[in-house]
Amino acid sequence: MVNRKSKRRSRVFRRWRELRWAGKVWRVVWVGVLSLWLLSLVAVVAFRFVFPPFTPLMVQRFVQQCADDGRSVRFERDYVRLDAISPHLVTAVVCSEDAMFLYHSGFDVKQLKQSYRENQRGRRVRGGSTISMQTAKNVFLPHTRTMLRKAVEAYFTQLIEWVWGKRRIMEVYLNVIEFGDGIYGCEAASQHYFGHSARTLSRREAAQLAVSLPAPMRVNPAANGPYFRRQTEVVLKRMGQWRVDLDMPRDRRRERYGRQENLWDFLSWWFKQRKKR
């Protein structure tokens, strides 16, 4: 048995030595890509049940804090289940960040198309990032601005939509999203800014936290100016009109808004736009 294993091993090494350098490079790349793909699947399935111990953004911010002498090192985070978070906050972030969260498959294609058209005209617009996309970016990827990162973000977005579902995506999102320098998740933010648990957030406090999300490093939800207050009032008005049911079955969602375009529809449209140029 030992001799048979050693002979098999020697044949493998001999075949490797006989490969040309291009063949060796291809094998290494193929094995590397396959390993990363399997690791991504394991991570997505694991985080379906447990919270990530840390995220790339948390590490990135910690390194920045340590490197900046004038910046205090802070790390505030306290994971809580969705049942321990005020429903007002769930409604507020949907109203503020992603109105079609319950109905799209991870990508707001209408907003992506609009953003693409505006960018082609040279205008700077909001990028159309959904709650699902923000969750994928925050949990799995560093905050960089490259096409490769965007492509991997789209891959992870589709994976968590398939594996996690809307309820788990919202739960993880509210626990890892940045609410200030070194402040992560709604529980830590609620304690830091309002002095109480996320379970007892009022409608206005929830709206203030949601409005701060596009610029958490610059905006203090508890001390804000006229523009911030106007945006808070807009979100509060929407909250009074909308109802967010994370447990709504998929067929009922489709009954309300019909079939929503997905990533493949956007890519098909994007390639057609490129051909026209």
pLDDT digits (tens, 9 = 90+) for 43-84: 999 999 999 999 999 999 999 899 888 888 889 999 999 999
202 neighbors 91 (Cβ within 8 angstroms): no
Q: What is the pLDDT of residue 2?
A: 47
The stretch 139-160 carries a mean pLDDT of 90
102 lies in the same domain as 223: yes
Residues 5 and 102 in one domain: no
Provide Rg for the chain, Cα atoms. 23
Asked if 81 and 41 sit in the same domain, the reply is no
User: Which pTM does this prediction carry?
Assistant: 0.85
Domain that includes residue 4, residue range: 1-46
- Residues 42, 66 within the same domain: no
pLDDT of res. 144: 83
Question: What is d(CA 198, CA 104) in angstroms, rounded to the nearest whole number?
Answer: 27
Indicate the residue among 27, 46, 65 that finishes a domain: 46
